[in-house]
């Protein structure tokens, strides 16, 4: 086989096993939450926890990533927030946020 053919279409058993393993691990995470909640009784306490979960996931994702990203990240998230609060348009807000990060990083902040 020519070299480009191997580079494009090569597939070893090891690679296939690795990709399948990654797929199974990821699907277990994707389906695991649904499966779990089918087996947890929905008491008032559990319900209160679940209702706080979406916001908690967002906060636990955003705050450390903002700190890790430093000033450009904080500026970008802040810009997206302000644009969204004013214009209520997700596309424009996302572009504004990414543009702010790009400019801040280009400026060496």
CB of 78 to other proteins, least distance (A): 9
Cα torsion angle, 29, 35, 41, 43, sign: positive
| Interface with other proteins in residues 19-58 (CB under 8 A) | 19-34, 36-38, 42, 44-58
- Between the CA of residue 99 and those of 12, 54, 57, 78, what are the distances in Å? 41, 27, 25, 12
CB of 27 to other proteins, least distance (A): 6
Is 17 among the residues that bind other proteins (CB under 8 A)? Answer: yes
Is 59 among the residues that bind other proteins (CB under 8 A)? Answer: yes
Chain-centre distance for alpha carbon 52? 19
CB of 38 to other proteins, least distance (A): 7
């Amino acid at each position: 086989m020519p070299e480009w053919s191997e580079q494009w279409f090569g597939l070893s058993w090891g690679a296939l096993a690795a990709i399948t393993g990654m797929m199974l691990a990821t699907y277990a995470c994707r389906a695991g939450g649904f499966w779990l909640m089918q087996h947890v009784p929905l008491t008032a306490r559990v319900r209160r926890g679940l209702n706080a979960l979406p916001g908690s996931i967002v906060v636990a994702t955003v705050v450390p990533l903002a700190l890790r990203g430093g000033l450009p990240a904080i500026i970008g998230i802040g810009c997206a927030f302000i644009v969204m609060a004013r214009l209520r348009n997700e596309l424009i807000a996302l572009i504004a946020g990414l543009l702010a990060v790009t400019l801040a990083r280009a400026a060496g902040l």
